[in-house]
């Protein structure tokens, strides 16, 4: 292996894995160092499976995985020195205190930042001497996050960290995450089905649905390219097949056209066909996500 | 570096299980003392001694492997810089040590008492070693099963089967033609005793090898 620092926090090439009722199919995804990727998909889309494959927790049937420049699963232990993983279903030892967990993790990571851990303890309002078994779900998740962040990892993998939290705990957790993201130069893979959470912190967005990558690009590009047009299509007029139009659906007397690659030239094409554009709307990431997934499912069926 | 993580995981399990280890030693020790108080004391103490041994093994195997898996604490352990196979081996070593400490202490207590007490039949050392050997073999089988089986009901069935085997074993070793030969001042390794202890050692080795093969070949660790 070369000593040059890796250019990507991770890369997945043609990754496949089958289960009885689910298949992750030929997934290609990579995260350049220093970027924050929002990994968005509905429940059961394959987000956790992808992350577990990435970390060598489960094995792939085909494809290549590199984590911090190292092949997985062959060198996953070495790679994990620079990676911290937090999952919504991860639990700590219920009979041990948070202080014990902090000492335990500190003993394994030379880069453990004790003063940062103390600052996070205060910021998260956690009691170090409290046993994990007595902590609420939100406190537990904050404790897991503290243990991950104080390691100062180069890659932070967060699998649905806000799932199952009440709105207050979710807001607190995201606020702290935003703070951390602003302060730090690290790569983050943030998986969620809450597009609002993802939109707040991510540079790059990847959509996954039914085990297949639907789209992946930088957030601004997503928000710039997707548009929804309200158009008036008079009787007898039929729109021609237009490039990058994901959906045309009736909306009252008007029609709603969704495009994944908005260009001013689209106006001319619509108007030449005899239709009239009423309004061009920007779309939220959630709307883009839903349209993207629905478009992909329609494509799959045809 | 992975080596230090490996031993850190082993030490971690020993630390978290220390209460259970002490409880088994204390319960077994008290039961053993009780055995010195007449026939009833011997019977009740004997049952409690065996229960402390057997239940201790079940608890350690369950808490060490099954509970960690079911409660997803395993995800935290696997987030550390260790591979799934290394984690499995660390769990195997820590489980053996966690049970081995109280087992060793109680076995030593029984054997030394039999050897040093002027009133005891020294030949019963063989009986005690057969019994304690069975405990260790049962523990290793339960542990191996829990490494392989992922469902709680199946784990429960495995524990039940081991307990039934123990009852059958007790019926067999308490037959007068077997037990009678040991109630002497001489330590005699009868062919039956040799067969039993040899079988127990074989079961332990087979279970260990089985777990090592399973952990090295397992593709999915969660």
What's the pLDDT tens digit per position in B72-91?
899 999 999 999 999 999 99
More confident residue, B164 or A302: B164
Residue range B106-116: mean pLDDT, rounded: 94
Nearest-Cα distance to chain B for A129, in Å, is: 15
**For testing the chain B interface, which of A16, A84, A104 should be mutated: the one with the most B CBs within 10 Å?**
A104
pLDDT at A184: 62
The answer to whether position B70 is within a domain reads yes
Query: Does the distance separating the beta carbons of B72 and A92 come in below 8 Å?
Result: no
Residue A2 has a pLDDT of: 54
Q: What per-residue confidence (pLDDT) applies to B134? A: 95
Q: Taking CB atoms and an 8 Å cutoff, what residues of chain A touch B12?
A: 104
For residue range B179-218, list pLDDT tens digits in order: 888 888 888 899 999 999 999 999 999 999 999 998 888 8
The answer to whether A90 contacts B219, with C-beta atoms less than 8 Å apart, is no
Cross-chain residue pair B219–A59, CB shorter than 8 Å: yes
Put simply, whether A27 touches B (Cβ < 8 Å) is no
| pLDDT of B44 higher than 90 | yes
A148 near B CB under 8 A? yes
Residue among A80, A84, A90 whose CB faces B75 most closely: A90
- Please indicate, yes or no, if residue B185 is contained in any of the structural domains: yes
In chain A, what are the domains? 8-215 (3.40.50.300), 227-282 (3.30.70)
- Which residues on chain B are in Cβ contact (under 8 Å) with A62? none
Whether B142 maps to a domain, the answer reads: yes
**pLDDT of the residue at A299:** 76
Q: Domains in chain B: how many in total?
A: 1
pLDDT of residue B2: 62
For residue B36, what pLDDT is reported?
Answer: 87
Domain that holds residue B182: 2-217
pLDDT, position B186: 87
Interface test with A, best of B80, B82, B86 (most A CBs within 10 A): B80
Residue B222 lies in a domain: no
Both tokens assigned to A261: 């690659």
Kindly tell me if the per-residue pLDDT of B103 is higher than 90. yes
Q: Say yes or no for a CB contact (<8 Å) between B221 and A90.
A: no
For B71, nearest residue in chain A (alpha carbons)? A91
B77 vs B155, more confident: B77
Q: Best residue in B83, B87, B215 to probe A by mutation, most A CBs within 10 Å?
A: B83
A144 touches chain B (CB under 8 A): yes
Given CB atoms, is A90 within the 8 Å cutoff of chain B? yes
Confidence at residue A12, expressed as pLDDT on a 0 to 100 scale: 97
> Nearest CB to A81: which of B81, B84, B222?
B81
The mean of the pLDDT values for chain B is 91
**Residue B120 domain flag:** yes
- Nearest by Cα to A65 from A19, A25, A27, A23: A27
Judge: B75–A89 Cβ closer than 8 Å, yes or no: yes
**Angle of the B124-148 helix axis to the B38-61 helix axis, nearest 10:** 30
ipTM of the complex: 0.87
- Please tell me whether residue B214 adopts helix, strand or coil conformation: helix
pLDDT tens-digit profile of B15-25? 999 999 999 99
Give residue A45's pLDDT: 92
Residue of A nearest to B11 (CA): A104
Residues B57-71, mean pLDDT to the nearest whole number: 87
* Structure confidence at residue A3 (pLDDT): 67
Mean pLDDT calculated for residue range B92-103: 96
Chain B contact for A54 (CB, 8 A cutoff): no
Residue B130 lies in a domain: yes
HEC readout, chain A: CCCCCCCEEEEEEEEEEECCCCEEEEEEEEEECCCEEEEECCCCCCHHHHHHHHCCCCCCCEEEEEECCEEECCCHHHHHHHEEEEECCCCCCCCCEHHHHHHHHHHHCCCCCHHHHHHHHHHCCCCCCCEHHHCCHHHHHHHHHHHHHCCCCCEEEEECCCCCCCHHHHHHHHHHHHHHHHHCCCEEEEEECCHHHHHHHCCEEEEEECCEEEEEEEHHHHHHHCEEEEEECCCCCCCCCCCCEEEEEEECCEEEEEECCCCCHHHHHHHHCCCEEEEEEECCHHHHHHHHHHHHHHHHHC
Cβ A93–B78 below 8 Å, yes or no?
no
Q: Which two tokens stand for residue A8?
A: 């990507």
Q: Residue B75 and residue A57: Cβ atoms within 8 Å?
A: yes
Per-residue pLDDT of chain A (302 residues; tens, 9 = 90+): 556 788 899 999 999 999 988 999 999 999 999 899 999 998 889 999 999 999 999 999 999 999 999 999 999 999 999 999 999 999 999 999 999 999 999 999 999 999 999 999 998 889 999 999 999 988 999 999 999 999 999 999 999 988 777 787 788 778 777 777 666 678 999 998 888 888 888 889 999 999 999 999 999 998 999 999 999 988 888 888 888 888 888 877 789 999 999 988 888 889 888 889 999 999 998 899 999 888 888 877 76
For B209-218, how does the pLDDT look when each residue is reduced to its tens digit (9 = 90+)? Answer: 999 998 888 8
**Beta carbons of B2 and A77 less than 8 Å apart:** yes
Contact of A203 with A221, CB cutoff 8 Å: no
């Amino acid at each position: 292996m070369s000593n040059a620092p890796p250019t990507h926090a991770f890369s997945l090439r043609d990754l496949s894995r089958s289960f009885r009722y689910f298949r992750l199919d030929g997934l290609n995804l990579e995260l350049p160092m220093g970027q924050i990727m929002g990994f968005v998909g509905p429940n059961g889309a394959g987000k956790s499976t992808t992350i577990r494959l990435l970390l060598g927790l489960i094995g792939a049937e085909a494809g290549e995985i590199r984590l911090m420049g190292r092949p997985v699963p062959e060198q996953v232990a070495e790679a994990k020195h620079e990676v911290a993983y937090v999952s919504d279903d991860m639990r700590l030892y219920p009979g041990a205190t948070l202080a014990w967990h902090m000492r335990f993790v500190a003993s394994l990571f030379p880069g453990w930042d004790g003063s940062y851990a103390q600052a996070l303890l205060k910021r998260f309002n956690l009691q170090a001497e409290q046993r994990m078994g007595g902590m609420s779900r939100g406190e537990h998740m904050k404790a897991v996050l503290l243990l991950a962040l104080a390691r100062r990892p180069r890659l932070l993998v967060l699998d649905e960290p806000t799932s199952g939290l009440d709105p207050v705990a979710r807001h607190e957790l995201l606020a702290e995450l935003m703070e951390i993201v602003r302060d730090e130069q690290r790569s983050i893979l943030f998986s969620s089905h809450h597009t609002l959470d993802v939109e707040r912190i991510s540079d790059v967005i990847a959509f996954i649905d039914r085990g297949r990558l639907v789209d992946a690009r930088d957030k601004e590009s997503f928000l710039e390219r997707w548009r929804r047009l309200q158009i008036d299509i008079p009787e007898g007029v039929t729109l021609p097949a237009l490039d990058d139009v994901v959906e045309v659906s009736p909306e009252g007397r008007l029609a709603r056209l969704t495009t994944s690659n908005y260009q001013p030239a689209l106006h001319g094409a619509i108007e030449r066909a005899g239709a009239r554009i009423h309004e061009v709307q920007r779309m939220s990431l959630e709307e883009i996500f839903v349209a993207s997934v629905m478009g992909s499912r329609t494509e799959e069926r045809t | 570096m992975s080596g230090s993580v490996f031993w850190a995981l082993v030490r971690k399990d020993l630390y978290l299980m220390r209460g259970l280890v002490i409880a088994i030693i204390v319960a077994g020790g008290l039961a053993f003392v009780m055995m010195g108080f007449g026939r009833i004391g011997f019977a009740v103490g004997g049952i409690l001694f065996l229960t402390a041994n057997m239940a201790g093994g079940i608890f350690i195997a369950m808490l060490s492997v099954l509970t960690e898996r079911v409660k997803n604490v395993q995800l935290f352990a696997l987030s550390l810089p260790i591979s799934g196979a290394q984690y499995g081996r660390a769990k195997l070593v820590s489980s053996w040590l966690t049970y081995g400490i109280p087992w060793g202490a109680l076995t030593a207590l029984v054997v030394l008492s039999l050897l040093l007490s002027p009133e005891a039949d020294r030949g019963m050392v063989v009986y005690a070693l057969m019994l304690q050997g069975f405990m260790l073999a049962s523990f290793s089988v339960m542990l191996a099963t829990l490494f392989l089986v992922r469902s709680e009901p199946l784990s429960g069935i495995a524990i039940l089967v081991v307990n039934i085997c123990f009852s059958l074993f007790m019926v067999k070793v308490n037959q007068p033609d077997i037990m009678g030969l040991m109630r002497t001042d001489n330590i005699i390794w009868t062919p039956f005793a040799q067969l039993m202890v040899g079988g127990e050692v074989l079961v332990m080795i087979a279970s260990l090898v089985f777990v090592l093969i399973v952990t090295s070949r397992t593709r999915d660790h969660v």
